[in-house]
Structure 1
Amino acid sequence: MRVVAGDRKGMPLKALPGNNTRPTTDKVKESIFNMIGPFFDGGVALDLFAGSGGLGLEALSRGIERTIFVEKDRKAFSIVKENVAKCRYDDQVEIFCNDAVRAVKALVKREDVVFDVVLFDPPYHKVDYYDLVRVLIDHGKVDDKGVIMCEHANDVTLPKAYGPFTCVRRETYGSTVVSIYRVTQQGEGE
């Protein structure tokens, strides 16, 4: 696992051994960022269910100014911190060891954050977690020009829209599906 492109291109990243997390492969990560970026001119990202932090670090490497990582597994949380330090992004991140539901409740109360990119990769068997996308949108925490990326199992069907955010692209990579949501003009989207 590595950073695929940008300022830290090629930087190897540590992954959590075992089956507690499911790191996004470099191939899928590259495809995700080709769909949502591929590069950014500043902005704030949220890497919810961060795992080893690979998606949020990729966003930083590609120009996102600040990333908030949320990961509840203590071992994975430690690896996110290691990977952030290795990539020298300590001053551009906030890392929380917290349950995603509680983290989102705390984030919606903050007046200092609106996300330009939401990277959403929950455990595949926890379908209810996708409701957190709606919570962020309903509280105005995703910029209207922003993008939401949901990674999910191919046997999970996500809604065509979350509020004004419509699924504009859906790609399948084996058992993994990536769904991209943006605010669209009438007639755009899937």
Structure 2
Amino acid sequence: MRIITGKARGLHLNVPKNYDVRPTADRVKESLFSIIGSKVVGAAVLDLFAGSGNLGLESWSRGARFVQFVDNSRMSLQLTDSNIRKCRAEADCKVLKHDAEAAVDLLYKQGQRFDLIFVDPPYNKGWVQKILAKLEKNQLLAENGWLVAEHSAHDDIADAVPESYEIFRNRQYGETVLSFIKRIL
């Protein structure tokens, strides 16, 4: 697993030694960032279910101004922390050990808003739907912001998208689906 482009281009990230964390494959990540394009430049990014920090650090490398990582696993956050240090991105990154739903509440109460939110939870456990429900109440996504959900092809999230949001693009890569969701005002 590596940073594809930007200021940390080619840097190999530390990866988990077990299968509790499922990092986004390089080809899926490359496609995701090709779709996002320059939207990441100057963005505030939230990487929920951070795992190894792969998506957030790719965003930072491509010009995001700030990345907030959230995970509930101490092991995942240690991995994320080590990758942040490896990238020398400490000044632009924060790590929060918290349940994803509770983190949405906390970050909203703190007044934070994000231009990009990555939701890459364990597959087929209803997490994307839970986060979408939380975001309906706690508007963490900035105006014109995008949420990118990575989920299983068997996990239909269309019915869980709140009325103030819309899926504007889906891409499937084998078992993995990327759903691009934006706020509609």
Residue 7 of structure 1 is matched in structure 2 by: 7
Are 1:48 and 2:74 matched, yes or no?
no
Query: C-alpha separation between the residues in 1 aligned to 2:108 and 2:39?
Result: 26
Amino acid across the alignment from 1:107: L
Return 5+ residue gaps in structure 1 as ranges: 186-190
Amino acid across the alignment from 2:101: V
Query: C-alpha separation between the residues in 1 aligned to 2:125 and 2:48?
Result: 13
1:126 aligned counterpart, secondary structure? coil
1:55 aligned counterpart, secondary structure? helix
- How far has the Cα of 1:166 moved from its partner? 0.9
- How far has the Cα of 1:102 moved from its partner? 1.9
Query: C-alpha separation between the residues in 2 aligned to 1:96 and 1:183?
Result: 25
Q: Is the 8 A contact 1:170 1:178 kept in 2?
A: yes
Question: CA separation of 1:184/1:140 partners in 2, compared to 1, >3 Å: closer, same or farther?
Answer: closer
Residue 85 of structure 1 is matched in structure 2 by: 85
Q: Is the 8 A contact 1:39 1:62 kept in 2?
A: no
**Percent of aligned pairs with the same residue?**
34
Q: Is the 8 A contact 1:108 1:136 kept in 2?
A: no
Return 5+ residue gaps in structure 2 as ranges: none
Question: CA separation of 1:86/1:68 partners in 2, compared to 1, >3 Å: closer, same or farther?
Answer: same
The 5-angstrom pairing of residues 1-190 of structure 1 reads 1-38=1-38, 40-111=40-111, 113-159=112-158, 161-183=161-183
TM-score between both structures, scaled by the size of structure 1: 0.90
- How far has the Cα of 1:87 moved from its partner? 0.3
Number of equivalenced pairs: 184
Query: C-alpha separation between the residues in 1 aligned to 2:31 and 2:16?
Result: 22
Residue 188 of structure 1 is matched in structure 2 by: none
Query: C-alpha separation between the residues in 2 aligned to 1:40 and 1:125?
Result: 28
- How far has the Cα of 1:143 moved from its partner? 1.0
Question: CA separation of 1:125/1:40 partners in 2, compared to 1, >3 Å: closer, same or farther?
Answer: closer
Query: C-alpha separation between the residues in 1 aligned to 2:152 and 2:38?
Result: 23
Which structure's residues are more often helix, by fraction?
Answer: 2
1:8 aligned counterpart, secondary structure? coil
Q: Is the 8 A contact 2:101 2:134 kept in 1?
A: no
TM-score between both structures, scaled by the size of structure 2: 0.93
- How far has the Cα of 1:140 moved from its partner? 2.3
Deviation by residue 1:51-87 (Cα, 9 ceiling, x = unmatched): 0000000111111100100111111110100000000
